[in-house]
Amino acid sequence: MIDTAGFVLRLTAATLIGCLIGLNRDLHGKPTGIRTLGLVGLSSALIVLVAYGRGDSGDASRAIQGVVTGIGFLGAGVIIKDPVNTHIRGLTTAASIYLTAGLGVACALGAWVPMAIAGVLAAVVLGAGGQLEKALRRRWAHPTDADPPP
């Protein structure tokens, strides 16, 4: 059984990791930010904690399935296909929403090591992934391929 301090720690950790990912998205001018992803982390952790606190692992499993399913709808809302040049935008932001929900679930379950590793990897991917993609595209892209718009 989780005590009050455990609830506070898990909910706070889920909120903070969501806010950090949201800060990255906000600094890149994306449609989600600190508040949105902070709330995604918090709500994911809350849903799992409430189910987990009932003492039935089946309830927690169903809650996690519900979070994963539901968050897909939120992520789908930020994906946009530009009909003029056929570029798809918002996939990284949608993936960030999905990741934030997963990190919230990990916090709720007290899975601190996987949460920390995933958080560090997310920071690396979000921080350096775009620059790496551009460098690789310049080096090996087909001459007719163009960089997607910023």
* pLDDT tens-place string over residues 47-81: 999 888 776 667 888 899 999 998 988 888 888 88
Distance CA(24)–CA(36), nearest Å, equals: 12
pLDDT, one tens digit per residue, over 33-48 is 999 999 999 999 999 9
pLDDT at 133 over 90: no
Torsion sign over Cα 34, 36, 39, 40: negative
Question: Residue 150: pLDDT above 70?
Answer: no
Predicted pLDDT of residue 149: 54
CA 83 centroid distance within chain: 27
Q: What pLDDT, on the 0 to 100 scale, is given for residue 145? A: 54
Highest mean pLDDT among 12-16, 86-90, 142-146: 12-16
Q: What is the mean pLDDT of the chain?
A: 87
> Does the model's pTM come out above 0.75?
yes
Angle, nearest 10°, between helix axes 4-27 and 34-52?
Answer: 150
- Half-sphere exposure of residue 129, counting CA atoms within 13 Å on the CB side? 10
> What is residue 139's predicted lDDT score, i.e. its pLDDT?
84
**Torsion angle in degrees (nearest 10) through CA of 94, 95, 98, 103:** -140
pLDDT at residue 121 greater than cutoff 60: yes
Q: How far apart are CA 72 and CA 65, in angstroms?
A: 11
Q: Are 101 and 44 in contact (CB under 8 A)?
A: yes
